[in-house]
Amino acid sequence: MYQAKELTVPTRGRGLVDITDEVQRAVKGTGIRDGLCTLFLHHTSASLLISENADPVVQRDLEAFFSRLVKDGDPLFQHDAEGPDDMPAHVRTVLTQVSLSVPVKDGEADLGTWQGVYVWEHRTSPHRRRVTVSVLGG
């Protein structure tokens, strides 16, 4: 059996948005007990990731690292049609990922104790991001 649901995730600008609860509701809503959940983000300037969900300092540290690694307004980048964060947002996405796979066990996404699923917004302004949650199994 296959089922999919689309999530709309509002962001407040650069940073992580925890979507773990929404993903769990989507998986449970399929009625599929065991299988595979695939998440796909339909954008080129945001990412999906699984990260620690217990200490918010982890999120700040990730953002600090990427801010150092890929600087807004870097003269290296020519693509700046939407501002100085335009190309850096694309680079951040390429370095991370827009798709995740999570096993489904007993009707839930089988995440580890300290794992959360996040949309990582790489643009400095708010956006509405589209995520497809697909579940395959029985």
Predicted confidence (pLDDT) per residue in 46-71, tens digit:
999 999 999 999 999 999 999 999 99
pTM for this predicted structure? 0.96
- Residue 133's pLDDT band, with cuts at 50, 70 and 90, is very high
What are the domain boundaries of the chain? 2-137
pLDDT tens-digit readout, 62-117: 999 999 999 999 999 999 999 999 999 999 999 999 999 999 999 999 999 999 99
Quote the CA–CA distance of 32 and 37 in Å, as a whole number: 10
Specify the fold of 2-137. Jelly Rolls (2.60.120)
pLDDT at 76: 96
Q: Two tokens at 132?
A: 């497809």
